[in-house]
Structure 1
């Protein structure tokens, strides 16, 4: 048996590249050991079969942004990591149209964006990309969100008009929004600057109790639909680099 050496050294010897290039190839998911992709340059190996993917590129891998259909019932914005939410390679949506290769690094240091209350379900964004972070932090008040709100009760006179304009929340006047009936028990809101608790308070002011909230869209980015319908709760897809909110 050979003496154990670092995987990066073996890749450098096999390909004639520098050690730094070998480490980049490994971290970017282009190297397999006995047929299994490995992303750890410091892995110690002996006589295992090491191979570099023929399509390997030296171009750095872009930071990932994941679009997740959060189920109702847990807080995705207070200390719960991606693993606790069930975000892993095997929960990727089968109809994800993006051809991005899944890398373990895509599930590390993900920051959840655009708050959504724990009881609500629907689209949340988790990103490693500073550009996405800035867009969804600095410009969030200008980005329209679409939410479906299940309600019960008796709508007050002119209630739909009041929801669209003229209400207050936590002492501030709310800007106009678009409100319509999706069906007899569900309202559709297209609204900017919404914060957790706001839709429940708005509905209460016109005589309605909220039974469910689901976020469908943030800006131009929706949960996504495939041949079998919308992406199910608990699954995720990639946001292609360059696609804008």
Structure 2
């Protein structure tokens, strides 16, 4: 921790739960800073000792967010005995680094990773509906507008209805925007309307775009980009 943080943000980023959970701990008098009972909204400075129920809380690590152009054939799990290649083979060894959401082995494109579990919860919570844009190529070619309309209206899947927020035909397939992150959701939606996916590339997550990042390469998001991601999930 390099600068002062509000106590509830400190606790949330240190893994003590959501900010609301942290606020409740403070209100209950269970949090102390430098031996004194904490009050809601106070700041925590570098070097301060924070305790919850008498147990020290480790200061949150520096938040790191990476953008990876995931190639086809890589899984997003760190330990998978059945996977020949995982995205962590392509990334630096950062403690606690994990993917934000899913991108299945056969899919390509933008995958965000972070060491901040609180950020991951915010970006994957259904309440916020962070938008994701996909370029889809199908076995039957370009989607007709009528099929796009069906996807916009919603299709029934085995785990409930799903719909696209935007759909536009593109050569060989379509451009799709979704706000959910269910397992293989895009593939299942396209199969449901009779257009099985041949290739799937994620182009964007919230305000972050894949751009010209080459397959297999990664970059660290700038502080401005991280702030833009946080604005997608405002904390009340």
Instruction: Report the TM-score range of the alignment, normalised by the length of the smaller protein.
Output: 0.5 to 0.7
Cross-structure match for 2:91: 87
1:1-16 matches, within 5 Å, as: none
Q: Which residue of 2 aligns with 1:158?
A: 146
Structure 1 CA distance, aligned partners of 2:210 and 2:203? 6
Unaligned runs of 5+ in 1: 1-57, 89-103, 225-229
Kept in 2: contact 1:65–1:127 (CA 8 A) = yes
Change (3 A) 1:166 1:138: closer
Q: CA deviation at 1:108?
A: 2.4
Question: Matches of residues 78-117 of structure 1 in structure 2 within 5 Å?
Answer: 79=79, 84-88=88-92, 107-117=94-104
* Compared CA separation, residues 78 and 66, structure 1 to 2 (3 A): same
1:77–1:115 contact (8 Å) kept in structure 2: no
User: How far is the alpha carbon of 1:172 from its aligned partner?
Assistant: 1.2
Is 1:240 aligned with 2:222? yes
Instruction: Give TM-score, length-normalised by structure 1.
Output: 0.59
Q: Any residues of structure 2 matched to 1:144-223 within 5 Å, and which?
A: 144-153=131-140, 158-183=146-171, 185-223=172-210
- Point out where structure 2 has 5 or more consecutive residues left out of the alignment: 1-45, 48-59, 230-236
Q: Indicate conservation of the 8 Å contact 1:164/1:176, yes or no.
A: yes
Q: How far did residue 75 of structure 1 move?
A: 1.0
Could you tell me how far 1:158 is from its partner in structure 2? 2.5
1:56-135 correspondence to structure 2 within 5 Å: 62-77=62-77, 79=79, 84-88=88-92, 107-135=94-122
State the 1:66 CA deviation: 0.9
When residues 176 and 121 of structure 1 are mapped into structure 2, their CA distance, relative to the original with a 3 A threshold, is closer
Q: How far is 1:201 from its partner?
A: 1.9
Higher mean C-alpha displacement, 173-182 vs 142-151 = 173-182
Report the counterpart of residue 231 of structure 1 in structure 2.
213
- Matches of 2:145 and 2:173 in 1, distance apart? 18
The count of corresponding residues between Structure 1 and Structure 2 is: 165
Deviation at 1:159, TM superposition (A): 1.6
Write out aligned runs for 1:32-51 (5 A): none
Secondary structure in structure 2 of the residue aligned to 1:73 = coil
